[in-house]
Amino acid sequence: MSNAWKIYMLAIVSFLVGTSEFIIAGILDQVAADIGVSLAAAGQLITVYSLAYAFGTPFLMAATAKVDRKRLMIYSLAVFVVGNFAALAFSGYGFLIVSRVILALSSGVFVVTSLTVAAKLAPPEKQGSAIATLVMGFSTALIVGVPLGRLISSLYNWQLVFGAIGLLGVLGIALVAYTVPRTENERPIPLREQVRLLANPKIAVALLITLFWIGGYSITYTYISPFLLDITGLSERGVSIGLFALGVASLVGSKLGGFSTDKWGYRRTLVGGMTLHATILVLISLLAHSPAFVIPLLMLWAFAAWSSGPTQQYHLITLAPEASSIMLSLNSSVLQLAMAAGAGIGGVIVEQSSLAAVSWIGAAGVAVAALVAAAAFGYFRPASAALRRKEAELAAKLGAQDLS
């Protein structure tokens, strides 16, 4: 089997891991009703997952730095299977929180390890494409996994979704065991290197952009299923269609975001994408009771939101090309923290205000990200022709299309 096919095998397993992360948002109302908690309390399952992922993964990766990468992926998938079966076997809010923590830690280790292995399996000139292939596996979870999980939970039981993911996880272990070769261990990243990067004002501001952008997105996405049911008035089938449309648009947005970054530069793409993102959330708020408008707006929202993903990664790499892996690791942790904050803030909004307000507050968060990005890029002062030329030269050198 060629290395290209081995990378695709990892992408398939990434699809399972992505589905286990995103599925909660797709079945949030059903989980809340079944275990007898409020929507806000159920939303904290996403908060717990993101916090465990953000804080636990770096420590686990440091602790397992000497473990063979293939063996580490198998171990993490084994724990992943246990976490899914725990959600199937045990009922109650407390057990579900424990399950989410187990899934977050095992998923974080697998994701980081699989990205490094995929890059090593690919030739140097195609390492970016290899990483993009794994990211596509996660995007496919939104297109197929979440809508399918919603359908299964509507017809049968939401716990069966986790049971199915657990069973497929066993197959994932077999795929890794028989297709992925042994690779050398990663060098542990000293904490002082990460702290040194965070002390750089440009890097700190860039990570702040991620925080507000993903935080605003998460406030709305966490409660998107009950929003579509209760505010828009869609049927169960309509919600599944809406989630499917959202997933397709997210994949297209990610691809075109990388293309736009290469052609027009990351500054225009990032500020433009986030401005469109905030605008669409405002329109969703205004037209929330009109199903005919909401579905197309959902697609535009996902398109705009996910177009910023590869662009922001590219932006961070340009700030510290010599430490690209550390930069992406830091961005991943901030992203998960933003997901946790967004889910938590969304829960407060639902409890203290109304479900309809999540899109308004989400728009505000993304608008702040757009303003911070515009200020960081000098959009509020006279543009420099030399700066634009430098950006174009850097874009051509690094090849932004590999991050799409």
Q: What is the DSSP string of 287-316?
A: TTT-HHHHHHHHHHHHHHHHHHHHHHHHHH
Give the helix ranges, DSSP H, for 90-200. Answer: 93-121, 127-140, 146-155, 158-179, 191-198
Q: At 18, list the tokens.
A: 């992505």
Per-residue model confidence (pLDDT) at position 21:
86
> In this model, does residue 107 exceed pLDDT 60?
yes
Centre a 10 Å sphere on the Cβ of residue 185 and count the other Cβ atoms it contains.
Answer: 13
The pLDDT-based confidence of 404 (bands split at 50, 70, 90) is very low
Whole-angstrom distance, CA of residue 94 vs CA of residue 96: 5
Backbone phi, psi, residue 270, to 5°: -70, -50
pLDDT tier, 124 (very low <50, low <70, confident <90, very high otherwise): low
The pLDDT of residue 225 is 87
8 A C-beta contact, residue 253 and residue 306: yes
Is the predicted pLDDT of residue 387 greater than 70, yes or no? no
Using the predicted structure, report yes or no on whether residue 171 has a pLDDT greater than 80.
Answer: yes
CA-closest candidate to residue 315, choices 271, 362, 278, 361: 271
Positive or negative, the CA dihedral 26, 31, 33, 36 is negative
149-178 average pLDDT score: 89
Is the pLDDT assigned to residue 399 strictly greater than 60?
Answer: no
pLDDT band at 324 (very low <50, low <70, confident <90, very high): low
Q: Burial letters for 218-249: b for 16+ Cβ neighbours within 10 Å, e otherwise?
A: bbbbbbbbbbbbbbbebebebbbbbbbbbbbb
- What is the C-alpha to C-alpha distance for residues 316 and 296, in angstroms, rounded to an integer? 31
Interatomic CA distance for residues 121 and 128, integer angstroms: 11
Q: What is the mean pLDDT of the chain?
A: 84
Radius of gyration of the chain (CA): 20
pLDDT in the model for residue 403: 45
pLDDT band at 382 (very low <50, low <70, confident <90, very high): low
Using 50, 70 and 90 to split pLDDT, how confident is the model at 194? low
Burial of 321 from C-beta contacts in 10 A (0-12 / 13-18 / 19+): exposed
63 has pLDDT over 60: yes
Task: Evaluate the CA torsion angle 143, 238, 299, 38 in order and state its sign.
Answer: negative
* Single-letter code of the amino acid located at 83: G
* pLDDT confidence band for 257 (50 / 70 / 90): confident
Q: Give the mean model confidence (pLDDT) for residues 340-358.
A: 89
Between the alpha carbon of residue 142 and those of residues 19, 91, 135, 349, the distances in Å are 7, 26, 12, 25
Residue 132 has pLDDT above 70, yes or no: no
pTM of structure: 0.75
State the pLDDT at residue 393: 63
Task: Return the C-alpha torsion angle 198, 50, 377, 132, nearest 10.
Answer: 100
Average pLDDT value for residue range 222-242: 89
pLDDT at 127 over 70: no
Q: Which three-class secondary structure state does DSSP give residue 67? A: coil
Type of residue found at 246: L
Over range 235-242, report the average pLDDT.
Answer: 86
Predicted confidence at residue 174, as pLDDT, reads 93
pLDDT at 211 over 90: yes
Of 280, 306, 309, nearest to 295 by C-alpha is: 280
Structure confidence at residue 301 (pLDDT): 94
Q: How far apart are CA 260 and CA 257, in angstroms?
A: 5
DSSP H or E run through 335: helix 324-352
Question: Nearest Cα to 243, choosing from 223, 260, 261, 263?
Answer: 223
Please give the Cα distance from 72 to 65 (Å, whole number).
9
Task: Give yes or no for residue 149 having a pLDDT over 70.
Answer: yes
Locus of tokens 């272990």: 173
* Per-residue pLDDT, 185: 60
Q: What is the pLDDT of residue 323?
A: 66
What pLDDT shows up at residue 260? 83
**For residues 70 and 180, is the Cβ–Cβ distance under 8 A?**
yes
Mean pLDDT of 126-136: 67
Placement of tokens 């199937």 in the chain = 88
> What percent of the chain lies above the pLDDT cut of 70?
87
Which band of pLDDT confidence, cut at 50, 70 and 90, is reported for residue 322?
A: low
